[in-house]
Structure 1
Amino acid sequence: MTNVYLAGPFFDDEQISRIERAEKSLAANPQVNRVFSPRLSEIAGLTMGTPEWATQTFQMDVHQIDEADVVVALVDFVDDQVDSGTAFEIGYAFHSDKPIIVLHEKDTILNLMLAEGLHAYLQKAESLAAYDFTNLPESHYHGKVF
């Protein structure tokens, strides 16, 4: 059974809808044991934006990446850009030798660092429900990069 860290922005309705679809698809996958989604893991009693909130949130998220078997990263943000927090999570996971499954639903150009660092490339959140997290089949991005 696989433990998943779900990275991705959740700052507006479109992004929240996308991450909710990913959460639902991962929950439907019988090979997934647990999903850590930062969107659902705010620390009670802390005020967002305070130094204490920032430190504890950072430490929690890094710890959860360490505990995960794989990172699923939603890279759609604004135009061709990835959210900076998601980019950090992807880089940290890559350096930690975690397989990174990139979900890229929009028709945008992917940054070469993401394209080269991923283990599997998916274009629909629903694909996560059937993805083989036991064998982790590789797939690659074949579009333009910048």
Structure 2
Amino acid sequence: MTNVYLAGPFFSEEQISRIERAEKALAANPRVGNVFSPRLNEIRDLEMGTPEWATETFQMDVRQIDQADVVVALVDFVDDQVDSGTAFEIGYAFHSKKPIVVLHEKDTILNLMLAEGLHAYLREAEALAAYDFSTLPESHYHGEVI
């Protein structure tokens, strides 16, 4: 069973809806063991925004990426509104030699760093339910990049 780290922003209703679809699809995949979604694992005993909260959150997320077999990243950024936390998680995962499965549902141009760094490219959250996380088949992005 594959352990998945789910990277993606959850600051707006649209982003929360998108990450919830991904969480649901991953939960339905019989090849997925554990899914760590930072959205569902916020540190609640510390005040958000404090230095202590930031340190604990950072350390927890990095530790979870280290323990994951694969990172699934939601990259539906609008124009230049890239979520820096998600970008960091993707870069850290790439450097850690973790396969990155990119979910890109919107019709937007993908940054070349993401396009070149991904292992598999998916267009619909529902595809995560059927993706074979045990063999990790490769697929690539074939669109315009910036």
- The answer to whether 1:119 aligns with 2:115 is no
1:110-139 superposed Cα distances (whole Å, 9 cap, x missing partner): 000000000000000000000000100000
Cα offset, 1:82, TM superposition:
2.8
State the match for 1:47 in structure 2: 47
Query: Structure 1: which 5+ residue stretches go unaligned?
Result: none
State the match for 1:33 in structure 2: 33
- Provide the TM-score with structure 2 as the length reference: 0.98
Kindly report the root-mean-square deviation, in angstroms, between the aligned alpha carbons of the 2 structures: 0.8
- SS of 1:52's equivalent? helix
Task: Tell whether the 8 Å contact from 1:80 to 1:108 is kept in structure 2 after alignment.
Answer: no
- SS of 2:126's equivalent? helix
Residue identity matched to 1:82: V
Residue identity matched to 2:65: I
Between the two proteins, what is the percent identity of the paired residues? 85
State the match for 2:136 in structure 1: 136
Task: Tell whether the 8 Å contact from 1:76 to 1:106 is kept in structure 2 after alignment.
Answer: yes
Alpha-carbon distance between aligned partners in 1 of 2:98 and 2:11, rounded to the nearest angstrom: 25
State the match for 1:71 in structure 2: 71
- Provide the TM-score with structure 1 as the length reference: 0.98
Cα offset, 1:43, TM superposition:
1.1
Alpha-carbon distance between aligned partners in 2 of 1:82 and 1:103, rounded to the nearest angstrom: 14
1:70-106 superposed Cα distances (whole Å, 9 cap, x missing partner): 0000011323543110000000000000000000000
Give the count of matched residue pairs: 146
- SS of 1:3's equivalent? strand
1:7-29 superposed Cα distances (whole Å, 9 cap, x missing partner): 00000000000000000000000
Greater shift after overlay, 77-86 or 64-73?
77-86
The structure-2 alpha-carbon separation of the partners of 1:143 and 1:80, relative to structure 1 and needing over 3 Å to count, comes to farther
Task: Tell whether the 8 Å contact from 2:65 to 2:71 is kept in structure 1 after alignment.
Answer: yes
State the match for 1:98 in structure 2: 98
1:29-77 superposed Cα distances (whole Å, 9 cap, x missing partner): 0000000000000112101100000000000000000000000000113
**Where in structure 1 do 4 or more consecutive aligned residues deviate above 3 Å?**
none
- SS of 1:43's equivalent? coil
Alpha-carbon distance between aligned partners in 2 of 1:79 and 1:23, rounded to the nearest angstrom: 25
Residue identity matched to 1:45: D
